[in-house]
C-alpha cells in the first residue's frame, strides 16, 4: 500500500497537490487515519477493479428489472386487462368456475382479486407441467367470466418479469448463477462505505465541505473524474446500502446467517396460523375434515361451507383492504387465509385465517403488530423489488442503477488516468502493497479480527477478501525482493 502523507492522496497529479502539513505526532488521531487511509484505499481499489464487473452486471440487470412492470403491462396486456369495464363484478365462484372449465388441470392454490377496475382476476394453479417453483395462472374477466388466457408465473410475476428477475439474480443460470449476485451484494456496502469515508475525509481536510455534493470545476483530468466519482457516490450511498442489505437477505449463504440471527433474537415475521381449532395439521378425521378438501375432489373446498365468496365477505367485514389474496386450505383441518396484497403501500399486509365452514375468523395477524425487524425486512424487500409507492420506487431504483454504473465507469477511468505517461497503453499501475504490514500492530489485529467476523457472516465477502490479502502479501514480498536486488 502507499506511504503517501495523509494530506496527499495518491489519486492526485503532482500539479494538483496542496502543500503537505507538518507530520502529526505519532499518538494523534490523524496518525491513526494516516495508517487506515491507505488500507481503505487499497481495499477500495481491489474491490473496484476485481469485484467491479460483478457490480456492473448487477447494476445493468437491475436497471432492466426496474422497468419490468411497464414491460409486463405491454407484453401481457391481453391477459391483464379487460375489454370493457362492467357495472358490477361477478361472484368469485362464477369466475373460478369459468377458469376451471377451461383449465381443469392441477389444484387451485390462490385466487387474487383484480387490483384495478380494468384488471383481471387471477386464479393460480399448481400443475406438474411447468418448471419447478412456478405455477400456472389463469386470467378471468371479472365482469363476464371470460378467460383471457393463462401464463406460467413465479410468485405472481408474469414471464417478462420473472425472466428479468432471474437475469438479475442468477443470469438465467439457476442456483450456480446466484453466486455472482451474492458477491455483488456482499461487496457493494464495503465499496460504498469505504468510498464515503475517504471522500468525506478528503473534503474535510481541504476545507471544502461544499464539494461533497458539488463537483469541482477544474480542467479535464483525473482530479475532475475523482470529483464526480465522489459526488455521485455520496448522493447514491444510502440507496446503495439499502440495496446491498436487502440483497443479502435473499442470498444463499449470508441470507441463511441473517435468517438464523433473526430467529435467535426473535426478529422473525409472524404469519397467520391456518390450523382450525380442534384439528391437527394433516388430520383427515378431525371435526373440520369435511371442509379441508378431503371429499368431493380437489375443488370441493372452493364451494364447501361459505365458499370463496363467503371468505371474501369475511375479509371485507374484518376491514382488510382490497384487493385481497385468498388461499384455500391445502389439507384437511386447515382454514382459508385472506391477505392484503401489500405492494404499493408499505403497511398493507394484514392477514386473517377464516373457517370455511361458517366464515368465522380463527386467527389474525396485522402488520402493525409485527416487530420492527420484520417491518424493516418487509419494507426493504418491497423497496428492492420496486413495489413501494409504485412508479416513484421504480424511478429511485433506476436512478441508483444508473448511479452505480456511472461510479464504476468513473472508477475504471481513474485507473486508466493513473498511467505514468499519456503514451503508455493500458490502465494505470496497481497501488503499492504493504500498507497492512506498515500499520500499527493493534490496528492491523483489530482490522483482521473484524474482517474475519464479517467474512464468516458474509462468506462471499470473506473469501474474496482472503484472496485480496494473499495477493497483497505476495506483491509486497515481490516488491521487497526487487528493492533488495536493486540495492
Asked, as a colleague might, if the bond just before 323 is cis with ω within 30 of 0, I would say yes
- Could you tell me which residue, 78 or 214, shows the higher pLDDT? 78
Is residue 288 over pLDDT 70?
Answer: no
Q: What is the average pLDDT across 214-243?
A: 90
Percent of the chain clearing pLDDT 90 (strictly above): 62
Facing residues of 325 across strands? 112, 339
Start and end residues for every CATH 3.10.450.40 domain found in the chain: 81-157
This prediction has a pTM of 0.84
Whether residue 322 is predicted with pLDDT greater than 80 in this model: the reply is yes
**From the CB of residue 221, how many other CB atoms can be counted at a distance below 10 Å?**
13
Q: Of 296 and 160, which is predicted with more confidence?
A: 160
Mean pLDDT of all residues belonging to the chain: 85
Residue written as cell 367485514? 317
Output phi, psi for 107, to 5 deg: -130, 140
Report d(CA 348, CA 368) in Å as an integer.
9
Contact, 363 vs 351, CB < 8 A? no
- Residue 100 CA to residue 477 CA, distance in Å, equals 72
Tell me what pLDDT residue 469 has.
Answer: 81
State the architecture of 81-157 in CATH terms. Answer: Roll (3.10)
Calpha distance 77→458 (Å, rounded): 41
Is pLDDT of 134 > 60? yes
- In the predicted model, what is the mean pLDDT of residues 20-38? 59
Per cent of the chain over pLDDT 70 is 85
**How would residue 296 be classed by pLDDT, with cut points 50, 70 and 90?**
low
**In this model, does residue 399 exceed pLDDT 50?**
yes
Amino acid at each position: 500500500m502507499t506511504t503517501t502523507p495523509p494530506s496527499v492522496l495518491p489519486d492526485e497529479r503532482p500539479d494538483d497537490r496542496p502543500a503537505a502539513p507538518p507530520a502529526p505526532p505519532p499518538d494523534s488521531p490523524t496518525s491513526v487515519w494516516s495508517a487506515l487511509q491507505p488500507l481503505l484505499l487499497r481495499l477500495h481499489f481491489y474491490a473496484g477493479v476485481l469485484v467491479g464487473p460483478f457490480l456492473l452486471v448487477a447494476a445493468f440487470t437491475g436497471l432492466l428489472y426496474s422497468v419490468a412492470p411497464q414491460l409486463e403491462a405491454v407484453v401481457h396486456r391481453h391477459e391483464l386487462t379487460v375489454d370493457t369495464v362492467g357495472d358490477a363484478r361477478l361472484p368469485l365462484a362464477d369466475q373460478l368456475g369459468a377458469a376451471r372449465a377451461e383449465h381443469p388441470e392441477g389444484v387451485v392454490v390462490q385466487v387474487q382479486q383484480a387490483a384495478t377496475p380494468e384488471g383481471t382476476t387471477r386464479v393460480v394453479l399448481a400443475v406438474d407441467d411447468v418448471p419447478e417453483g412456478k405455477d400456472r395462472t389463469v386470467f378471468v374477466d371479472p365482469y363476464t367470466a371470460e378467460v383471457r388466457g393463462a401464463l406460467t408465473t413465479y410468485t405472481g410475476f408474469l414471464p417478462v418479469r420473472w425472466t428479468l428477475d432471474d437475469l438479475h439474480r442468477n443470469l438465467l443460470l439457476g442456483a450456480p448463477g446466484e453466486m455472482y449476485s451474492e458477491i455483488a451484494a456482499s461487496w457493494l456496502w464495503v465499496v460504498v462505505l469505504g468510498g464515503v469515508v475517504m471522500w468525506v475525509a478528503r473534503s474535510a481536510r481541504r476545507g471544502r465541505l461544499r464539494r461533497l455534493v458539488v463537483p469541482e470545476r477544474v480542467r479535464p483530468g483525473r482530479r475532475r473524474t475523482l470529483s464526480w466519482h465522489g459526488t455521485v457516490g455520496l448522493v447514491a450511498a444510502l440507496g446503495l446500502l439499502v440495496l446491498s442489505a436487502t440483497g443479502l437477505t435473499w442470498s444463499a449463504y449470508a441470507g441463511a446467517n441473517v435468517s438464523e440471527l433473526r430467529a435467535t433474537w426473535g426478529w422473525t415475521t409472524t404469519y397467520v396460523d391456518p390450523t382450525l381449532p380442534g384439528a391437527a395439521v394433516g388430520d383427515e378425521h378431525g371435526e373440520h375434515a369435511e371442509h379441508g378438501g378431503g371429499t368431493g375432489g380437489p375443488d370441493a373446498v372452493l364451494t364447501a361451507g361459505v365458499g370463496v365468496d363467503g371468505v371474501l365477505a369475511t375479509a371485507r367485514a374484518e376491514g382488510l383492504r382490497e384487493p385481497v389474496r385468498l388461499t384455500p386450505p391445502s389439507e384437511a383441518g386447515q382454514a382459508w387465509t385472506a391477505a392484503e396484497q401489500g405492494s404499493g403501500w408499505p403497511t398493507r399486509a394484514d392477514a386473517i385465517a377464516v373457517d370455511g365452514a361458517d366464515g368465522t375468523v380463527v386467527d389474525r395477524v396485522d402488520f402493525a403488530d409485527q416487530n420492527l425487524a420484520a417491518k424493516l425486512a418487509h419494507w426493504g424487500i418491497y423497496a428492492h423489488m420496486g413495489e413501494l409507492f409504485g412508479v416513484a420506487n421504480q424511478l429511485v431504483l433506476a436512478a441508483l442503477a444508473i448511479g452505480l454504473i456511472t461510479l464504476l465507469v468513473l472508477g475504471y477511468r481513474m485507473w486508466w488516468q493513473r498511467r505514468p505517461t499519456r503514451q503508455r497503453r493500458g490502465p494505470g499501475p496497481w497501488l503499492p502493497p504493504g500498507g497492512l504490514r506498515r500499520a500499527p500492530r493493534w490496528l492491523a489485529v483489530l482490522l483482521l479480527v473484524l474482517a474475519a467476523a464479517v467474512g464468516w457472516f458474509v462468506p462471499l465477502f470473506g473469501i474474496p477478501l482472503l484472496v485480496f490479502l494473499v495477493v497483497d502479501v505476495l506483491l509486497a514480498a515481490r516488491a521487497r525482493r526487487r528493492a533488495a536486488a536493486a540495492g
